[in-house]
Amino acid sequence: MSKEKRSLGRTMRLERLEDRNLPAGMVTVGVDSQTGVLTITGDNQANEIVIHQVASPVPPGMFIPTMLGYRIRGIDTKVREINDDSGFGVAAQRSPARSAVTIWWGTEIHINLAGGQDSLRIYNTSLAGPLTIDMGWGSDTLRMKNVHVLSTQASKSAASAPLNVNLGDGADRTILDNVTSATDLNIDAGAGRDRCTVRQVAAGTTGSGGALAVEMGSGKHDFLRIVQAIADNALLSDTSGAGGILLHSADNFGSESDTGFQTVR
C-alpha cells in the first residue's frame, strides 16, 4: 500500500482547549466574632456580586428558631469565605473559592470592592447594625431595593452614618429604591459623571432628626433624581461639579439645602 493511501485512513482528532472564560476577580467574605462585623472585600478586577437575606430551613415537625443569614453570590466572580471565627463558617484554610456563600451571623456589614468596573446588587435585606459601602475607583453600578438599616448607631469601625455609601471615582450609576435608615443616610458619588436615583428612601422618620446627605462630587453634568424621600434634613450638593442637574418630586423634607447644581427642578 502506498504512503498516499495509508494517510487517507488516519482519523483527525480535535484537542479540547481549556475554558478561557475566567472569573472576574475574587471577593472575600469574613466575620469578626468580637465586633460582629461582616466584611466583604473585592479586588481590582470587575467584581459583580448579589446579596440578599435568607432564612434557615426548619425541618417538618421541629420548633426551632429560624436563623437569618446573608447569601453572597458572584456573577462571573468567585467568592471565598475567610476569617470566620463565629463558629458558623468554614475555617479559612479549608475554604474553597465558590460561586456563592451563605453567612449566618453578623451584626453589621462593610463592603469594599476596591478598583475595577464593579457591580453590586443588594435586595430584600434588613440589618440590625450599620451598612457601609465603598465601591472603589472605576465606573461602578450599585442597585439597592427593599434594604432597611435598623440601627441608630454609626459603625463600630468607621466614622459614618448607619447607612453610608461611597461610590468612588468614575462614571457611576446608582439606584436606591425603598431603602431606609433609622437615622442618617449618606451618599458620596465621588469624581466622575455620575447618575443617582433615590426613590422612596427614608432617613429616619418625621421628627427623628435624620438627615439625607447626597454629594455628587466633582464630575461634569452629574444627575441626581429624588422621588418620595423622607428626612428631617436634606443636604443635596454638587459642590465641585459643573452643569449638575437635580430633579425631585413628592418629597417630605423638614428642611432642604441645594448647593452647586446648575439646574434644580
Angle at 69 between CA 63 and CA 70, to 5 degrees: 155
- Domain range for 95: 22-106
pLDDT reported for residue 184: 92
Burial class of residue 233, CB neighbours in 10 A (0-12, 13-18, 19+): middle
Query: Does 102 share its domain with 132?
Result: no
By residue count, the chain amounts to 265
**Rounded Cα–Cα distance for residues 50 and 104 (Å):** 16
Higher confidence at residue 4 or residue 156?
156
pLDDT tens digits along 207-244: 888 999 999 999 899 999 999 999 999 999 998 888 99
Do residue 83 and residue 130 come from a single domain? no
Q: Mean pLDDT, the chain, as a whole number?
A: 85
In the chain, what is the greatest distance between 2 CA atoms, to the nearest angstrom? 99
Residue 114 lies in a domain: no
86, 216: one domain:
no
Q: Domains in the chain: how many in total?
A: 2
Kindly state whether residues 187 and 87 are assigned to the same domain: no
Burial class of residue 97 (count of CB atoms within 10 Å of its CB; 0-12, 13-18, 19+): middle
Compare 42 and 59 and report the one with higher pLDDT: 42
Task: Output 29 or 86, whichever has higher pLDDT.
Answer: 29
Phi, psi of 4 (to 5 degrees): -65, -40
Q: Say if residue 42's pLDDT is above 90.
A: yes
In whole angstroms, what is the distance from residue 250 CA to residue 265 CA? 12
Q: How far is the C-alpha of 56 from the C-alpha of 104, rounded, in Å?
A: 8
Q: Tell me the pLDDT band of 94, cut-offs 50, 70 and 90.
A: low
Q: Are residues 194 and 162 in the same domain?
A: yes
CA atoms within 13 A on the CB side of 105: 16
101 part of a folded domain: yes
Does the pLDDT of residue 33 top 90, yes or no?
no
Give me the pLDDT at residue 75, please. 95
Beta bridge partners of 180: 148, 202
Q: Is the same domain home to 131 and 201?
A: yes
Residue 133: pLDDT band (50, 70, 90) is very high
Q: Do 130 and 261 have their domain in common?
A: yes
pLDDT above 90 as % of the chain: 62
3-state secondary structure of 216: coil
| Interatomic CA distance for residues 40 and 86, integer angstroms | 16
What does the pLDDT look like over 52-87, one tens digit per residue? 999 876 555 555 566 788 999 999 999 988 765 555
